[in-house]
Each structure stands twice: as structure tokens, then as C-alpha cells.
Amino acid sequence: MESSLRVRSLKEVPSARDFASGIESTNVPAVFSGCVKDWKAFSNWNPCNGGLDYLQERVGLCVVEAMLSDSAPVFYGDIRSHERVPLPFSAFIGLCKKRMHHSEDGSCVKSDRHGLPDASSEYDSKPYEDASHQIYLAQVPIINTETEERVQLGSLREDIQTPAFLEDKVLVAINLWMNNAQARSSTHYDPHHNLLCVVSGCKQVVLWPPSASPMLYPMPIYGEASNHSSVPLEDPNFSNYPRAQCLMEHSQKVILQAGDALFIPEGWFHQVDSDDLTIAVNFWWRSNVTLNMSEHMDAYYLRIILRRLTDREMDRVLPIASLAQMENINRHTDHNDNGLDQACEGKDLKGKEVEQRFTSHALEPLAILALHELVSLVHGHVNAAEQRQPVQSASTTAPAASVKDECIKVVRPSSFGLEDDPVAKIFWTLHPITLKNVFLAMVENFPRTLEALILHLLSPVGAEVLTRKFDRMDQQITKEERDRFYQAFYGAFDDQFTAMDAILKGKELFALQAYKNVLDKYLGVDWRGPKPGSDETS
């Protein structure tokens, strides 16, 4: 976990200015110890101090929307995994009281009813008694600025004090969260900034930054539960979710006691475990980023973000740091002639001829070895293709030591990773100047081999590596040297525009595969479509 993403823990509540500039703007979670201990709710709602009676008196007549789930104690956000059922709040209070009375530790069993009717008399809780552990009051609105008609517990607002550092925020909602048995909310992120305040009980929150999305396998972006992870963390199947094996290495765990508050920035995945009879309130508000996003700019922002993620995925496959390190190692490696002889010995494709031809051209041993390997790869593919179906070459130039007068067209590999592509591997390990010298030697002595290499053996990853090498080479030589090299390189082809097009198409195919990976990792979208027998919208 990067140090810049570590959760901060603060003993003092910050000012609005300090929160905005030093906490909210970083988009990193923070814990505020004792932040809500001065609320009326902190004392009035405490079940150990007659809080259940207080809540029943204040809102017992209200009917709330409860989450009922067969998967309890885990509550999944997808509507297919739970029901939203109307439940008299007084009936839920009755279930809480029964659970308290049956607990092993009766230290919190207090009841001062003040003549209130029993929960099971006016509002029958019996239909829910067998499923009491499957009921969770999740996200019950106390305030909702978007849909005021959904507000169910508005009378509790006066027991809650908005923290001073949120007073200038555009609040979207204030919600109640209450469970009578242990409960876990499945891993998800919120579309707003969130301040989770524990009024009574205890919560454990596991957090992941948005950058961990690929390991969490987010639900499809077009689905109803698009902000939820598809990985069941209580029993993950790593054969189905291999990237999730490293998930906990990128997580942080926070324990919130009564009175504590946790700032969860928008987009941060979190899984929340609640102890028996835990009561919490959360505030949602719109971030400055979303407030300042003009709708007419959405399409542009989408393209920018997708492009940035695609570039990052490409760099993951071809990390720049390892490229520079590999080039530096090979640039200074002392390859002696005996090693070269051993590498060429036993090859079918005139290894000695290659070595003898370029010894007089002062090619370094590593370049001669790379040249031999490239020529061998081309000839090997041509020989294999010749056995299948010879095709007349469009080339009319007689080679000095060519692939053959009638060149066999080879199917270009579709590799995306270096490990599956020997040509790309050779390009990757060579210093740009060494690779330039190898190509110039091929231009002079094996032009048709170079043509077959670029037109028929260059995979998408090979094309990406090649263009990156060209870019690095351009930074290390003069303009005159660049012009001479590219004139010689493309001049070796019967149609230089066909060569340019082959390299460009390969590079775009590499970027396309990276883009597909981005859709899968960050948006939960499989480019190939839903798998047979699967419910894509789940």
C-alpha cells in the first residue's frame, strides 16, 4: 500500500478549511476519534441506556424499508439477493429487545417503558422473529435532498449534529443504519463522499482505493449493482477471480467504536462488518470534482480517462523501468565470440554465414546474435508455412540471402504479452542503437527477411515494442542520422507504406487489447459478451 493512501487517524476534529484542503482534497480516508460524542443521539440512542425505548417513542409509529436477505449475515447490494420489505420501526425495536434479553451478557438489558405499548402488541413482530438475523435497516433516510418523499425518519434529525467541517457541503442524504445481529455489507463503493458515524456498537471497515478495482472484479457498469464487487470475500474462488489473490495486500482495516467517524472518499471500495445491535448514521455529499463536472464535458472526460487507463495497461505489460534496466544490462554485457559460436552451432539457417558476413561490419557480438535469431525465426516460420501451402510472393527483388525467391506468406501472431513472442522479446532486450544497427545490417544483406519479419511476423506487442524503441532511438541520435536510418529501413520494402501500415495496425491492435482489459478490469465488461449460461446482469 502506497504511503500516500494510508488512512489517517485524527484525535481532533478539523476545521472546515483544514478538512477541505488537507483531507477531502487528497481523496484518502481519515478517522476522527470521538467526533460524534457530543450528539444527542450518542446518549439518547444508546441501547444500554434505554435508547431503544427512546427510539420507539420518537419514531415507533413509522414504517421503514428493511433489507431482508437469505444470505445473512452477509447483505449483498444486488436486488436479486435480498428483498426490501416494509417493517414497522416498533417491530424492529421489539426484535432488538428480544435479542438483548437473550444475550449471554445481560449488562445492557435495561427497559424503562414509560407506559409505551409493547412492540409485539400494537405492531406484531412475530412474522420476523425466525428471520430476525436476516433483517438490516440499511440506508433508511433521515434526510434525502433528491427524493424527499422517501424520508422515513426525519424526526431523528434533531438528535444529529452535522460536523462543523461539513457545514458548507452540499448534502445529498443522511441515513440510519441499524442491525440487531451481526451483519456484513458486501464490498462496494459510493458515488458520493461519505462520513460514517458510529452512534452505538462497533464497526470494522476494510478499505480499498479505486486503483484496486481490477482485483475486486466490479460488477458490469450497466448493471443494477455496478458499484459492487463480484468477489465474495468470505469465500473467494481464486480460479474464477485470479486477480483477487492479492486483494488483501492492498486493503486497510479500520475499527470504529461508538463516537468515531470515518471519511470514505467517493470511489473507495469498502466492506463493513457490524457487531450485534450497532447503530450508525452516515452523511453523503457531492465532491467538488462531481460538482464542477459540466455535463457537456462528460464525453470528453470519459475519453480522457479511458485513454489514460489504456496507456497504463499498456505500460503494465511493457513497464518502462524494466525496459531501461534491460537495455542497460545488455548494452554493457560482454558477449565473446565463443558464446556466439555456441549459439549459432547446430542451427539450420546458416548461422556461421551470418556471423562471418557481419564480423567485418564491426557489429557488436550481441547484435550479431540477435540478427541470427531474427533470421532463424523468419526462416523457421517460412519453412513451416511452405509445408502447408506455398503462396507466390508479391516481392520481385532478388535477395542476397533471402527468405526464398518465392516468399511464403506467414500468419502474423496475435501476441499481447512478451512471454509468448520471441520477436518482441529480442526487440525488448536490445538497446535502441543496437537494434538500429541490426536493422541496417538486414537492409544491406537480408532485405526480404526484414520484409517478412515486419509484414508477417510482427505481432501487436512486437509492433508496440518496435515503435517504443524507435522513439527512444530518436532521442539519442541526430536528425540527420534519423533521416538516413528511416530512409534505409523503409526503402528495403517494395511498398514502404505497406510496412508503415503493418507497424501502425499492430500498434493499434496492442492498444485495443489493452482497452479491452480496461473494460474488463474497471467496468466489469467482457468484450466477448456474456458467457454461455451466465446472467450478465447479475
What pLDDT digit, counting tens, does each position of 481-533 carry? 999 999 999 999 999 999 999 999 999 999 999 999 999 999 999 877 554 44
Measured CA to CA, the distance from residue 106 to residue 101 in angstroms comes to 7
DSSP reduced 3-state for 510: helix
The helix or strand, by DSSP H or E, that contains position 300, with its residue range, turns out to be: helix 298-317
Distance CA 533, CA 240 (A): 15
**Coil, strand or helix: which one is 74?**
strand
Q: What backbone torsions phi and psi does residue 35 show, to the nearest 5 degrees?
A: -65, -30
Rounded to whole angstroms, the Cα distance separating 151 from 176 reads 11
Copy the grid coordinates of residue 489. Answer: 529501413
Q: What are the DSSP calls for 458-480, one per residue?
A: --HHHHHHHHHHHHHHHTTS-HH
Q: Residue 219 — very low, low, confident or very high, per pLDDT cuts 50/70/90?
A: very high
pLDDT in tens, 55-110: 999 998 899 999 888 877 888 777 677 788 899 999 999 999 988 876 555 455 44
- Residue 473: is its pLDDT beyond 50? yes
- pLDDT tens-digit series, residues 412-439: 566 678 888 999 999 999 999 999 999 9
Question: Torsions phi, psi of 46, nearest 5?
Answer: -65, 115
Calpha distance 150→156 (Å, rounded):
15
Q: What is the DSSP string of 104-144?
A: S-GGG-----TTPPPHHHHS--HHHHTTGGGEEEEEEEEEE
What's the pLDDT tens digit per position in 98-155?
888 765 554 554 444 333 334 343 445 555 666 777 889 999 999 998 877 678 899 9
And the C-alpha cell for 334? 560482454
Interatomic CA distance for residues 385 and 410, integer angstroms: 6
Nearest CA to 510 out of 213, 310, 309, 323 is that of: 310
Q: b/e string for 308-325 if b means 16 or more Cβ within 10 A?
A: ebbeebbeebbeeeebee
pLDDT of residue 381: 83
| Gap between the terminal Cα atoms of the chain | 30
Reference 248, options 287, 215, 285; nearest CA is: 215
SS3 state of residue 448: helix
Beta carbons within 10 angstroms of residue 370's beta carbon: 22
Average pLDDT taken over every residue of the chain: 83
On the CB side of 65, how many CA atoms lie within 13 Å of its CA? 12
Q: How many whole angstroms separate alpha carbon 505 and alpha carbon 517?
A: 18
Share of the chain above pLDDT 70, in %: 78
Count of C-beta atoms within a 10 Å radius of residue 292: 9
Kindly report which listed range (229-243, 333-347, 492-506) carries the lowest average pLDDT score: 333-347
pLDDT value, residue 385? 66
**What's the whole-model pTM score?**
0.79
Q: State the Cα–Cα distance between residues 404 and 399, nearest whole angstrom.
A: 8
- Which domains are present in the chain? 8-104+133-292 (2.60.120.10), 294-319+418-527 (no CATH)
User: Which of the four pLDDT bands, split at 50, 70 and 90, describes residue 399?
Assistant: very low
Pick the closest to residue 60 from 31, 89, 86 (CA basis). 89
Q: How confident is the model at residue 383 (pLDDT cuts 50, 70, 90)?
A: confident
Span 442-463, average pLDDT? 95
Please report, for the chain, how many H helices and E strands are present, in that order.
19, 14
Bridge partner residues of 441 (DSSP): none
Q: Write down how long the chain is.
A: 538
- CA–CA dist 296, 298 (Å, integer): 6
**Is there a contact between 299 and 186 (Cβ–Cβ < 8 Å)?**
no
Q: Nearest CA to 61 among 153, 148, 179?
A: 153
Residue 417: what pLDDT?
82
CA distances from residue 361 to 229, 342, 344, 367, 451 in whole angstroms, order as listed:
59, 21, 18, 11, 21
Query: In this predicted structure, which of 68-72, 264-268, 460-464, 489-493 has the lowest mean pLDDT?
Result: 68-72
Q: pLDDT for 22-41, tens place per residue?
A: 999 999 999 999 999 999 99
Residue appearing with cell numbers 516468399 = 407
- Look at residue 369 in the predicted model and tell me its pLDDT: 94
Do residues 123 and 92 lie in contact, with contact meaning Cβ atoms separated by under 8 Å? no
Question: Of 395, 383, 388, 402, whose CA–CA distance to 442 is shortest?
Answer: 402
Angle at the Cα of 210 from the Cα atoms of 208 and 211, rounded to 5 degrees: 95
Torsions phi, psi of 406, nearest 5?
A: -105, 95
Separation between Cα atoms, residue 423 and residue 425, nearest integer Å: 5
Look at residue 482 and give its three-state secondary structure.
helix
75 strand-pairing partners? 185
Residue type, 438: V
Q: Which of 524, 525, 483, 535 is nearest to 230 (CA)?
A: 524
